[in-house]
């Protein structure tokens, strides 16, 4: 007589220890054999890379001070309308081709006047030689 096999009431246990061992071994293998790509960034040359010139003379500069009253003071002298800066800048650049323009805005000056002065200077041809600074407020 044959015996019938009865299913046991217990569920079959699966041993996952060998599976985890293989996964960890593969993980270690991929970490060790991985190659990392060094991407090239932007090359920056700091001022320390170039030796300073002892004989260098700073370029001539023109200071345009934007005043709180809406006018522009040219080189700490005469006051002019912001819309007439273009002719003044063109004259300065004609005399000094390597000249630099500094626009200095007072803290109480209107932003729109400063923008007009910067635009007039750019239209006059001072695109790469134009700098904007803010004047420090006077201590009270």
pLDDT value at position 22?
Answer: 94
Cα dihedral across residues 120, 122, 126, 132: positive or negative: positive
Structural domains of the chain, ranges and CATH numbers in brackets: 61-134 (3.30.420.270)
pLDDT less than 70: residues of the chain: 1-11, 43-54, 76, 137-140
Rounded-to-integer distance, Cα 109 and Cα 65, Å: 10
pLDDT value at position 25?
Answer: 95
pLDDT value at position 10?
Answer: 66
pLDDT value at position 49?
Answer: 59
pLDDT value at position 1?
Answer: 55
Token pair for 106: 């007072």
Q: How much is the pTM?
A: 0.56
């Amino acid at each position: 007589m044959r015996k019938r096999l009865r299913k046991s009431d217990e569920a079959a246990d699966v041993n996952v220890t060998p599976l985890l061992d293989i996964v960890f071994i593969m993980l270690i293998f991929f970490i060790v054999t991985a190659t990392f790509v060094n991407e090239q960034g932007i090359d920056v040359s700091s001022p320390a890379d170039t030796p300073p010139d002892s004989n260098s003379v700073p370029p001539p500069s023109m200071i345009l001070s934007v005043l709180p009253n809406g006018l522009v003071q040219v080189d700490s002298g005469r006051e002019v309308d912001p819309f007439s800066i273009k002719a003044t800048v063109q004259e300065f650049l004609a005399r000094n081709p390597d000249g630099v323009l500094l626009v200095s805005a007072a803290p109480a000056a209107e932003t729109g006047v400063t923008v007009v002065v910067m635009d007039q200077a750019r239209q006059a041809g001072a695109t790469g030689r134009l700098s904007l600074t803010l004047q420090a407020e006077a201590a009270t």
